[in-house]
Chains A and B, each alone.
Chain A
């Protein structure tokens, strides 16, 4: 770039701005090209699909970054390249020695806590995406505030005016959604999509105009899009912290009212609670959290802090109060760690860092959460499957012994095998439609539990303990079969399969009621006789019939 061009630029600035103030020409640095490239790469790295879809926008923001870089002198954290921080830098950030870093990191933590708290309610109210539309709708407001501030005699880079602009246009966005939804037959998701994209598009257009304006020292504006802790001053951080605290306080005070609103709107209305008013309070807190989060997280990713901690917290607890607290904790931790990482690596957008940290927490919660995590569910399902297999196995062995005529019914204290009887694996396998490997595994487990004894030729016998359990299981199965035949009028030939599905969930209380109803007690009359034949051939027939009719 030639010197004369720069001067011309400068002249034009003076003429157009026409405010008599001395304008500093942008200080072009030698590393400009390199810097732009790095910025673009970084912006793409944030993983935002919007950035991917709009490469032009990425480069625009990159250029903005360059402009901002050339202007910024206020911050020791600003660095030109990504460098592995020195030990001293690590220590300085991690021990929060620098006052500004300390305030910013703690402020972001409070922001995360507030977003986690408010987010719990919006998630349960199914309004989570409203926050996303709202945050995207703030962009035109930021741009317009920047453009209009000088004519109002306010420094266009003061965060106050930019945040005010953001709040106004964010609210206008929410209003537009409600307008589109109420005035047309479109559903809310369509209204959200339309408003979100149109407002964001308008914001992009306005920012590109600003970039072309000679006075467009768009310093710091890019921070609103992807978040940049480095651009946050201590005074901003105090605003974030106090607003965040305010939101937490309000949610705490209105906890039971907001819970009722989210759980049962109709009932809340019937009791005279102002539904619309409570919704407005909730929405106002979302607006507040979003606006104060713009600088730290950025508008593209702000939704993450409102949704992810709350969704993650749901895996840990079945209690609303605990969920809100865990959500606040996870949000706070995301803010703290994300902002901390961004402070260590100043060129990494803090929004991306915060989202990545919270995403990791979500993944861990999803897998390991004790209330409804994936691991717990898989474990429960496996335990249930094994219990069912075990019952099937023991009952199978018992019934084979019964078919062989090796169980006496004379004793009043239950069934006893006359002498150890061995059941072959092949017979057992033919009993029901189970795979050989699954059956083998279950046999192994039952042998370990001392219910079965296995011979080297893989024939099996029930142990005393196994016999007891098996007799009880068969008794329960037949009780249920009998009930189905006598009370539910199900054909005896189909009753075995029907009982199969239910007997595993019978609890002792229901067994007692069944015994009472059918006047058959195990201890008095021994194990019930089967209400249908249990010979092998018969069973095979039934299974094919049942299998056919089920499909």
Chain B
């Protein structure tokens, strides 16, 4: 027991944090009224959703729907016009270590003079600390992550010598090595071979079993019901979100992909014209 007021407080504090870190029902990600604009042109409007813990969530929507923008806004990589984002009930800054990111493969220069293992090790830079070199244990962890995605033998290969699927696996390994609880992935299945797609989805399912949550931008509508148990349908705004079997309906998809947002488009265009004349 905890005699004394101060000790009691401390005791409660401890039990609270313990229950928080253990608690599986903690919401990994909540987005409230998020609006992002580039050059005053809105890219996403009033986006709000919550995702359940330990789920495998697909973000689906047409090109230019703001899917990548949404991920970047969640990660605080781009300024947001309005809205609020919570990660495991706190701000991103407080919980950054628990969030892993797999950027789009095309976002980097694969001609860069580093090896596959070097890329994976980048996932540990935060843990290693500023100005310090990586220790043997770090390299070992990076090697294990590469093996987990099935390309352990390619560790020393310069990254332009990897196939597209292998590059994507390298990026995934870099996120895995961080041991995050929430993963945001920008099109990990884009232009990869069938075996890589299978390997990635296996890993995502393993993570789900371990209670980790993944938010994945996905393009192939055919595989959505098979891969994801929760979807967010996005086209500048959230058309629908919820369990896949409830939300992933023909009607909702038509709303997402059909140009039903003409008024919004026109308003956007008018704003751009005004911006230009200014």
What is A's interface to B at a CB cutoff of 8 Å? 124, 253-254, 256-257, 259-260, 262-264, 266-267, 269-273, 314, 317-320, 322-323
Which residues of A lie under 8 Å from residue B118 when comparing CB positions?
320
Q: Nearest-CB distance from A316 to chain B (Å)?
A: 10
Task: Please give me the residue from chain B that is nearest to A275 by CB atom.
Answer: B77
Interface core residue of A253, A269, A270 (most chain B CB under 10 Å): A270
A269 to B118, CA, bound (A): 18
Are A256 and B113 in contact, with the CB atoms below 8 A?
no
A257 touching B125 in the complex, CB below 8 Å, given contacts A264-B103, A266-B103, A319-B115:
yes
Say whether B107 faces chain A, with CB atoms less than 8 Å apart: yes
Say whether B203 faces chain A, with CB atoms less than 8 Å apart: no
A264 touching B107 in the complex, CB below 8 Å, given contacts A272-B96, A320-B114:
yes
Are A257 and B75 in contact, with the CB atoms below 8 A?
no
Are B113 and A271 in contact, with the CB atoms below 8 A?
no
- Of the candidate stretches B46-54, B58-66, B128-136, B222-230, the one touching chain A is B128-136
Q: Nearest-CB distance from B184 to chain A (Å)?
A: 8
The size of the chain B interface, using a CB distance under 8 A, is 30
Indicate which residue in B122, B130, B178 contacts A264 across the interface (CB closer than 8 Å). B122
Task: Please give me the residue from chain A that is nearest to B72 by CB atom.
Answer: A266
Are B115 and A266 in contact, with the CB atoms below 8 A?
no
Are B75 and A269 in contact, with the CB atoms below 8 A?
yes
Are A254 and B101 in contact, with the CB atoms below 8 A?
no
Are B77 and A270 in contact, with the CB atoms below 8 A?
yes
With contacts A254-B130, A320-B118 known, what are 18 further pairs, Cβ within 8 A?
A124-B109, A124-B112, A124-B113, A253-B131, A254-B131, A256-B125, A256-B128, A256-B134, A257-B130, A260-B125, A263-B112, A264-B122, A266-B107, A270-B99, A273-B125, A273-B126, A318-B115, A320-B113
Q: Nearest-CB distance from A324 to chain B (Å)?
A: 9
Task: Please give me the residue from chain A that is nearest to B184 by CB atom.
Answer: A270
Are A266 and B77 in contact, with the CB atoms below 8 A?
yes
Task: Please give me the residue from chain A that is nearest to B157 by CB atom.
Answer: A318
Q: Nearest-CB distance from A320 to chain B (Å)?
A: 5
Q: Nearest-CB distance from B87 to chain A (Å)?
A: 12
Q: Nearest-CB distance from A182 to chain B (Å)?
A: 11
Task: Please give me the residue from chain B that is nearest to A272 by CB atom.
Answer: B96
11 contacts between A and B (CB under 8 A): A256-B125, A263-B112, A263-B114, A263-B119, A263-B122, A267-B174, A270-B103, A271-B126, A273-B126, A318-B113, A319-B115
Say whether B17 faces chain A, with CB atoms less than 8 Å apart: no
A264 touching B108 in the complex, CB below 8 Å, given contacts A253-B131, A257-B125:
yes
Which residues of A lie under 8 Å from residue B126 when comparing CB positions?
271-273
Which 4 A-B pairs have CB atoms at the shortest separation, nearest pair first?
A270-B101, A318-B158, A253-B131, A270-B75
Q: Nearest-CB distance from B181 to chain A (Å)?
A: 14
A323 touching B113 in the complex, CB below 8 Å, given contacts A256-B128, A266-B72:
yes
Chain B positions 190 through 224: 1 when the CB is less than 8 Å from some CB of chain A, otherwise 0: 00000000000000000000000000000000000
Are B112 and A262 in contact, with the CB atoms below 8 A?
yes
A263 to B77, CA, bound (A): 16
Q: Nearest-CB distance from A419 to chain B (Å)?
A: 46
Say whether B93 faces chain A, with CB atoms less than 8 Å apart: yes
Task: Please give me the residue from chain A that is nearest to B39 by CB atom.
Answer: A185
Q: Nearest-CB distance from B221 to chain A (Å)?
A: 23
A511 to B75, CA, bound (A): 45
A267 to B120, CA, bound (A): 12
Which residues of B lie under 8 Å from residue A269 when comparing CB positions?
75-77
Are A272 and B93 in contact, with the CB atoms below 8 A?
yes
A546 to B40, CA, bound (A): 53
Q: Nearest-CB distance from B142 to chain A (Å)?
A: 13
Which residues of A lie under 8 Å from residue B109 when comparing CB positions?
124, 263
Task: Please give me the residue from chain B that is nearest to A120 by CB atom.
Answer: B113
Which residues of B lie under 8 Å from residue A254 when comparing CB positions?
130-131
Q: Nearest-CB distance from A441 to chain B (Å)?
A: 30
A257 to B107, CA, bound (A): 18
Which residues of A lie under 8 Å from residue B101 when comparing CB positions?
266-267, 270-271
Task: Please give me the residue from chain B that is nearest to A250 by CB atom.
Answer: B131
Which residues of A lie under 8 Å from residue B113 when comparing CB positions?
124, 314, 317-320, 322-323
Which residues of B lie under 8 Å from residue A273 when comparing CB positions?
125-126
Are B108 and A271 in contact, with the CB atoms below 8 A?
no
Task: Please give me the residue from chain A that is nearest to B128 by CB atom.
Answer: A256
Q: Nearest-CB distance from B79 to chain A (Å)?
A: 12
Task: Please give me the residue from chain A that is nearest to B174 by CB atom.
Answer: A267
Q: Nearest-CB distance from B152 to chain A (Å)?
A: 16
Which residues of B lie under 8 Å from residue A266 when comparing CB positions?
72, 77, 101, 103, 107
Q: Nearest-CB distance from B132 to chain A (Å)?
A: 8
A226 to B38, CA, bound (A): 43
Are A267 and B122 in contact, with the CB atoms below 8 A?
yes
Are A267 and B103 in contact, with the CB atoms below 8 A?
yes
Which residues of A lie under 8 Å from residue B115 when comparing CB positions?
318-319
Interface core residue of A272, A320, A323 (most chain B CB under 10 Å): A272
A388 to B15, CA, bound (A): 70
Are B122 and A260 in contact, with the CB atoms below 8 A?
yes
A319 touching B114 in the complex, CB below 8 Å, given contacts A257-B130, A260-B125, A264-B122:
yes
Task: Please give me the residue from chain A that is nearest to B175 by CB atom.
Answer: A267
A273 to B128, CA, bound (A): 13
Which residues of B lie under 8 Å from residue A314 when comparing CB positions?
113
A266 to B175, CA, bound (A): 13
Which residues of B lie under 8 Å from residue A257 when comparing CB positions?
125, 130-131
A269 to B99, CA, bound (A): 12
A317 to B77, CA, bound (A): 32
Which residues of A lie under 8 Å from residue B96 when comparing CB positions?
271-272
Q: Nearest-CB distance from B172 to chain A (Å)?
A: 12
A84 to B12, CA, bound (A): 87
Q: Nearest-CB distance from B125 to chain A (Å)?
A: 6
A253 to B178, CA, bound (A): 22
A9 to B29, CA, bound (A): 79
Which residues of A lie under 8 Å from residue B103 when comparing CB positions?
264, 266-267, 270
Q: Nearest-CB distance from B195 to chain A (Å)?
A: 11
Task: Please give me the residue from chain B that is nearest to A271 by CB atom.
Answer: B126
A256 to B119, CA, bound (A): 11
Q: Nearest-CB distance from B277 to chain A (Å)?
A: 13
Are A263 and B108 in contact, with the CB atoms below 8 A?
yes
Chain B positions 87 through 110: 1 when the CB is less than 8 Å from some CB of chain A, otherwise 0: 000000100100101010001110
A13 to B145, CA, bound (A): 76
Interface core residue of B113, B125, B133 (most chain A CB under 10 Å): B113
Q: Nearest-CB distance from B200 to chain A (Å)?
A: 18
Interface core residue of A264, A271, A273 (most chain B CB under 10 Å): A271
Indicate which residue in B72, B75, B114, B133 contacts A259 across the interface (CB closer than 8 Å). B114
Which residues of A lie under 8 Å from residue B184 when comparing CB positions?
270
Indicate which residue in A271, A318, A322 contacts B125 across the interface (CB closer than 8 Å). A271
Which residues of B lie under 8 Å from residue A272 when comparing CB positions?
93, 96, 126
A269 to B77, CA, bound (A): 6
Which residues of B lie under 8 Å from residue A318 when comparing CB positions?
113, 115, 158
A259 to B113, CA, bound (A): 10
Which residues of A lie under 8 Å from residue B72 when comparing CB positions?
266
A263 to B72, CA, bound (A): 17
Q: Nearest-CB distance from A101 to chain B (Å)?
A: 36
A207 to B98, CA, bound (A): 58
A506 to B96, CA, bound (A): 44
Task: Please give me the residue from chain B that is nearest to A266 by CB atom.
Answer: B103
A260 to B96, CA, bound (A): 17
